[in-house]
Amino acid sequence: MGFDPVYLLFAAPAMLLSFFASMRVKSAFSKYSKVRAFSGLTGAQAALQMLRSNGVTDVQVRKISGMLTDNYNPTNKVLSLSPEVHDGTSLSSVGVACHEAGHALQHASGYTWLRLRSAMVPITSISSKLSMWVILLGCTLQMAGLILIGVALFAVGFLFSVVTLPVEWDASARAKAHIVNSGIVSPEQGSDAGSVLNAAFLTYIAAAASSLLTLLYYLLRSGALNGRGRN
């Protein structure tokens, strides 16, 4: 088994897209982290306000280290914000903080796609660890059935990245609506704050697209093994 040049055809666009998306989110975040939001609220205050105004009082907001490490953990109801988002008063800070609060609201209201995504977490973490090894073992033993099982395990990860899309889109939609409606940002600032969240969404599209390309590559390869013989 040597290097497969066909793999480059699939991997290169995926890598380019991921690179482009991560550049976009960093540049949008840094651009709008220099623009102060109309209300002067910090990200942490904005997130708390969004939670409270939707009747959610049992979510803790904490500061964590790192950059763009912000997340909401449904298992302990902790909303973790990176220092710049937690303490910052910029469009980027309140936008990202309210996006995470959007996840907490999804959790509180039992939003279907979030429930599906959470249910998929355990199986996805196992299948993504196993898939590569099962495929390699199938190739080594030249067992097409085993390869297909490995590809099916990989497909679980792809489905997970697809289910993530509505979850992320909806959290951003909730954030965009709240920051404008509650006056955290001015109506004119709404689209700028939203563009940070749109750039972040692009990274999830890139992840799903690159997972799809890898899946297509595996399917092409395993099909070749079944049909025209091995190479």
Q: Give contact residues for Zn ion (rule: CB under 5 A).
A: 168, 171
Rounded CA-CA distance 215/228 in Å is 20
Rounded CA-CA distance 78/59 in Å is 6
By C-alpha distance, which of 193, 132, 205, 219 is closest to 168?
205
Among residues 32 and 218, whose Cβ is nearest to Zn ion? 32
Q: In whole angstroms, how close is the CB of 5 to Zn ion at the nearest point?
A: 36
Residue whose structure tokens are 């977490």: 121
- Give the angle 186-187-188 at the CA atoms, nearest 5°: 90
Rounded CA-CA distance 160/158 in Å is 5
Among residues 168 and 192, whose Cβ is nearest to Zn ion? 168
Burial, 12: exposed, middle or buried (Cβ in 10 Å; 0-12, 13-18, 19+)?
exposed
* Maximum pairwise Cα distance, the chain: 66
Q: In whole angstroms, how close is the CB of 164 to Zn ion at the nearest point?
A: 8
Q: In whole angstroms, how close is the CB of 231 to Zn ion at the nearest point?
A: 42
DSSP helix/strand/coil, 39: coil
The one catalytic residue among 84, 100, 168, 188: 100
Residue 100 annotated among the catalytic residues of the structure? yes
Distance from the Cα of residue 36 to its chain's centroid: 26
Q: In whole angstroms, how close is the CB of 175 to Zn ion at the nearest point?
A: 9
User: Which residues are part of the catalytic machinery?
Assistant: 100
